[in-house]
Amino acid sequence: MSVQACSNPVFDEDDDGPIIFKKSTTVSKQNKSNSEVKKSSCQKNDGQSERKASNVCSPSGLVSISQNNKAPSPKPSLVKSPVTGTKASTSSGSVSPVKSPITGTKASTSGKVSPLKSPVVSSKTSVSAADQSKQSIKQNIASVKKEEKHLVRSSAELDSGSDDSEDDKPLSSRLFSGLLKGSSNNVSKGTIASPGSSMMPKSKLSLKRSSDDSDDEKPLSSKFQVKPHTAASASKLSDDEDEKPLASRLQLNGSSAKVAQPGKSNIKDNKRPLDAVSSPGQSSVKRPKVESSIPTKVKSVSVKSEPKLEDDDHIPIAQRMKKDGTGTKPLPTKQKVTKFVSTPPKKTIKKTKKVTKTSKYSKSTKVPPSSGEGQKWTTLVHNGVIFPPPYKPHGVKMLYKGEPVDLKPEEEEVATMFAVMKDTDYATKEKFIENFMTDWKKILGKDHIIKEFKYCDFTPIYEWHQREKEKKKQMTSEEKKALKEEKLKQEEKYMWAIVDGIKEKVGNFRVEPPGLFRGRGEHPKMGKLKKRILPSDITINIGKDAPVPECPVPGQSWKEVKHDNTVTWLAFWNDPINPREFKYVFLAASSSLKGQSDKEKYEKARKLKDYIHTIRVNYTKDFTSKDVTKRQIAVATYLIDKLALRAGNEKDDDEADTVGCCTLKVENVNLIPPNSLEFDFLGKDSIKYHNIVEVEPPVYKAIGQFKTGKSDGDDIFDKLDTSKLNAHLKELMPGLTAKVFRTYNASITLDEMLHKETQGGDVPEKLVVYNHANKEVAIICNHQRSVSKSHSAQMSRLTEKINELKGVLDGLKVDLSRAKKGKAPLKDANGKPKKSLAPEVLGRKIAQTNAKIEKMERDMQTKEDLKTVALGTSKINYLDPRISVAWCKRHEVPIEKIFNKSLLAKFAWAMDVAPSFRF
């Protein structure tokens, strides 16, 4: 199937398929071989023991977010708060809390920041003016250089070891450090490092979970925390070290250095491809217009690479606090970069190819899409969209006041939509029912017998539906296959579009079928009828010279046909629930158009790494600004940076009541003396965000000020909204917006954690490290999933099994002691005599059983920890795939262990990254 083709692109060498990616081939192949191993036991966790410890006071972690809970549903799980750990460490210094004089120093130490920008840092005092000017300069430069930069950068970094600077770290980590300093200068330092140390309490931000529940409540982060290993390192460090970012410290200890080395050589290889590809607006900002002509990449300017030293800035704050070494394996670092041959080979080839286009749809390099300004494509050919089949009445009668009712097909259709949702919780929600009845009655008409919901009994329809489902299930596999093929045949022509001569997969070519709107959370419109979309509702966008897709319904026509090459959508219709909004048909994630913007997104986030230090210094300074707006901007930026909060646009009354940073209400943030904040609100998708985090005293104070004189429902940041905030951010770095911080903190966290925690071992062990890092990111971003219905049953089953094993163990112990005394074993449960075994044999059995029990307990803990954590979201949207690819290359882990088929296709553009790539 076609599908396959696309997904595989990476692997294929031939051009036939939709191969997107050629270059990587080599690599991928390699991977494959490796992959043979197959079983990835990613699941293993690091030991539980660690976790526990962490809970208590996560060394690092300061933050714990409570997960789960979707607000609406009363699910039990509110609990978990992950701790994201932060590394408290030192690194924070960069952020430097206002107060500490130290800061200044530290900053200087860290120095990493590029000279340009750094100025501020060094002289902390005069920061402001100087900074600004610098910044502006920087910006300009930056924009120009940008591209080059990253090219260069890698090399530079390697050399200088810049990566480590604190700036790169996520705020959370920083904060901690900052706090530490602030509160207890010296002490703090030590603290950071040592997770377990008693000092912790103060310095770190320990998050506590809210009390509600049991362990669930614990912050995830804490659970995950790693080992104490860190502590040790920390301890080693002398005081001065404090100033340095943890990261840097660690690195020294660790293997990182080594890694870097290899990188150098590779540098050249780095990412070339991307650059080529991305042209359009990539860099800076979005200004659509092409400002400066086409971006050429100049390479020379390497200035950019700033020689930062290592600070933690780049580490996510959260992480910083933590810092541990996961301690995973004892092995000494062994990384061998060497191997991964993969990279280089193809590249060259590719470039040349470039525009192969016409020829059969080769996929490979895409290329030129963006030639001009806002232009996204030159030629676009596709077949439009496919409509769902018309409604087929089933004739099953529902009951009204106990009597069967005849319904016309249109009426029955809507009744069926409701009947089918019987086992969801929507079926019992008042709002849902109300909206449903309102819309249904419009169809039934005024005089219909059916008037009140309470007399309706949809059970017959529900049962009919269940029977249909059952029938489907009972079909033989041949029948199923035939059906599938039939469907595929019908859809095939809609699945592909030809963009600039290249065949690309279309994302959602199926028009949404009618149904009842399932809004998330307490959505005011839930239950409303989503009417059927007709061709006359649809606007098609297609190349001027391409044939307009035929309208599938005879007497009708498309609403409109456009030829707009500045947008990427192929079609759209107005959302029936909210007519002011649209539903678009776009290309699939594996398309080059999407890949390119994805890459640009990550490049922008990487660019933030160069600015983050200055940005943090600036907002820290503004925590105490007399200008309220400035103060609010500073605090909001801090929260976004440190906690990875979303920007928080205003919402209408006809949407669920959720908030983001700029829309936080007074009631969403509580002050917990001396300087902790408790966040409790519903974020995107009405997912609960609950987190108690220690913040820098000036922030604590500022929040208190913002709250005074307001009532619960008022905005904390009354002088602010997302456009003002983003306008401000844009002054700090071209193209910077609030969401870039999430991308940055997520990716830098992954990069740092992989770098520090990968110690060696076999592939499964490395996967544990990867998953651990992935988990950490998911916690930082508060990516949650609902607990599966069978979760508790699964857990109790596991507990039962463990108990059973424990019983066996006890029996073995008794046998052993008897055997030692020369006595025969006791009879078994059935009263039958057991074979007597030698003590050595029994001893071995006991050890085996113990190991088994331990493993089961560990698995169980992991399962519990992950029950509400969604790892996929960050992988798809926040983690620069090049980090993962490079890590896989460095550590000989098959990329297929990390990315599934669709991710491999989506990230085709990242596959040929050099093994030395660092975010």
Query: Is 805 a residue that touches DNA (CB under 7 A)?
Result: no
Residue (427 or 846) nearer to DNA, CB: 427
Nearer to DNA, 401 or 484 (CB): 484
Q: Which of residues 258-277 bind DNA (CB under 7 A)?
A: none
577 near DNA (CB under 7 A): yes
- Helices 171-183 and 697-707, packing angle to 10 deg: 100
Residue 43: CB partners within 8 Å, gap ≥ 6?
A: 768, 771, 859, 862
Residues in the chain: 919
Nearer residue to DNA within complex by CB, 90 or 282: 282
CB 906 within 8 A of CB 595: yes
Stretch that binds DNA, among 175-183, 339-347, 655-663, 813-821 (CB under 7 A): 655-663
**45-49: long-range pairs with CB below 8 Å, 24+:** 45/768, 45/772, 45/858, 45/859, 45/861, 45/862, 45/865, 46/224, 46/226, 46/227, 46/326, 46/327, 46/328, 46/768, 46/772, 47/858, 48/857, 48/858, 48/861
Report how far residue 296's alpha carbon sits from residue 299's, in angstroms, rounded to the nearest whole number. 9
Nearest to 743 by CA among 567, 597, 525: 597
Q: How far apart are CA 476 and CA 845, in angstroms?
A: 46
Contact between 686 and DNA per CB under 7 A: yes
C-alpha dihedral over 775, 780, 786, 788, to 10 degrees? 20
Q: Is 784 helix (H, G, I), strand (E, B) or coil?
A: strand
**With binding defined as CB under 7 A, does residue 69 bind DNA?**
no
Question: Cα dihedral angle (115, 116, 122, 128), rounded to 10 degrees?
Answer: 180
Would you say 597 or 836 has its CB closer to DNA?
597
Smallest separation (angstroms) from DNA to the CB of 170: 15
Sign of CA dihedral 323, 329, 330, 334: negative
CB of 392 to DNA, least distance (A): 16
Active-site residue flag, 455: no
- Binding test (CB under 7 A) with DNA, winner from 410, 468, 685, 810: 685
Is the Cβ of residue 59 or residue 648 nearer to DNA in the bound state?
A: 648
The residue to which tokens 């596991």 are assigned = 798
Provide DSSP, 640-697. HHHH---------TTS-----GGG-BGGGEEEETTTEEEEEEE-GGGBEEEEEEE--H
572 three-state secondary structure? strand
The smaller minimum CB distance to DNA, of residues 123 and 375, is found at 375
Burial state string for 859-897 with b = 16 or more CB within 10 A and e = fewer than 16: bbbbebbbbbbbbebbbbebbbbbbbbbbbbbbbbbbbb
* Options 139, 173, 676, 873; binder of DNA; rule CB under 7 A: 873
What is the nearest approach in angstroms of DNA to the Cβ of residue 225?
22
Footprint (CB under 7 A) of DNA, residues 806-865: 863
User: Other C-beta atoms within 10 Å of 328: how many?
Assistant: 21
Using the contact rule CB under 7 A, the part of the chain among 184-192, 261-269, 282-290, 325-333 near DNA is 282-290
Per CB under 7 A, which of residues 283..302 are in contact with DNA? 285-289
Which range binds DNA by CB under 7 A, 206-214, 673-681, 802-810, 870-878?
Answer: 870-878
Name which of 310 and 880 has its Cβ closer to DNA: 880
Nearer to DNA, 325 or 527 (CB): 527
Residue of 786, 811, 813, 843 interacting with DNA (CB under 7 A): 786
Q: Give min distance, CB of 79 to DNA, in A.
A: 15
DSSP 346-402: HHHHHHHH---TTTTT--S---TT--SSS---S-EEE---BPPPPP----PPPEETT
Q: Which of 212, 215, 575, 667 binds DNA (CB under 7 A)?
A: 575
> How many other C-beta atoms can be found within 10 angstroms of the C-beta atom of residue 42?
21
Interface of this chain with DNA, residues 478 to 537, rule: CB under 7 A: 480, 484, 508, 510, 512-513, 515, 517-521, 523, 530
| Using rule CB under 7 A, residue 60 touches DNA | no
Pick 289 or 401: Cβ nearer DNA: 289
> Residue 786 CB, nearest distance to DNA (Å)?
4
- Do residues 378 and 500 touch, judged by C-beta distance below 8 A? yes
Nearest to 888 by CA among 906, 871, 913: 913
Piece in contact with DNA (CB under 7 A), picked from 162-170, 191-199, 214-222, 792-800 = 792-800
240 vs 485 by CB, closer to DNA: 485
By the rule CB under 7 A, 646 interacts with DNA: yes
Q: Which stretch binds DNA (CB under 7 A): 126-134, 398-406, 575-583, 815-823?
A: 575-583
Smallest distance, DNA to C-beta of residue 510, A: 4
Residue closer to DNA by CB (options 120, 866) is 866
By CB under 7 A, which span of 55-63, 446-454, 644-652, 840-848 interacts with DNA?
644-652
* Range 20-49, binding DNA (CB under 7 A): 39, 42-43
Which one among 564, 667, 678, 718 touches DNA, defined by CB under 7 A?
A: 564
Residues 875-894 that bind DNA (CB under 7 A): 876-878
Window 111 to 150, contacts with DNA (CB under 7 A): none
The H or E element that residue 560 is part of is: strand 560-562
User: Which residues within the stretch 726-745 sit at the binding site for DNA (CB under 7 A)?
Assistant: 726, 730, 735, 737-740, 742-743
Binding mask 178-207 for DNA (x = CB under 7 A): ------------------------------
Complete edge-to-edge strand list for the sheet that includes strand 669-672: 83-84, 63-66, 688-694, 676-682, 669-672
x/- binding map, residues 694-733, to DNA, per CB under 7 A? ----------------------------xx--x---x---
Using only the alpha carbons of the chain, give its radius of gyration: 30
Contact with DNA (CB under 7 A) among 8, 233, 782, 849: 782
> Of 322-361, which residues contact DNA (CB under 7 A)?
none
Residue 7 vs 335, nearer CB to DNA: 7
Cβ atoms of 272 and 354 within 8 Å: the answer is no
Catalytic residue among 494, 611, 638, 878: 878
Least distance CB 440 / DNA (angstroms): 17
Which tokens hold the place of 744?
Answer: 């940055």
At 194, the amino acid letter reads S
Count of residues that interact with DNA, criterion CB under 7 A: 94
Shortest distance, position 739 Cβ to DNA, whole Å: 3
Site for DNA in 366-425 (CB under 7 A): 376, 424
Q: What is the DSSP string of 482-526?
A: HHHHHHHHHHGGGSEEEETTEEEEBS--BPPPPEE---SSS-TTT
Give the burial string for 678-709 (b: 16+ CB within 10 Å, else e). Answer: bbebbbeebbbbbbbbbbbbbbbbbbeebbee
Residue 75 CB, shortest distance to DNA, in Å, is 9
Q: Tell me the C-alpha distance between 329 and 747, whole Å.
A: 23
Binding to DNA, residues 896-915 (CB under 7 A): 900-903
Q: Which residues are catalytic?
A: 878
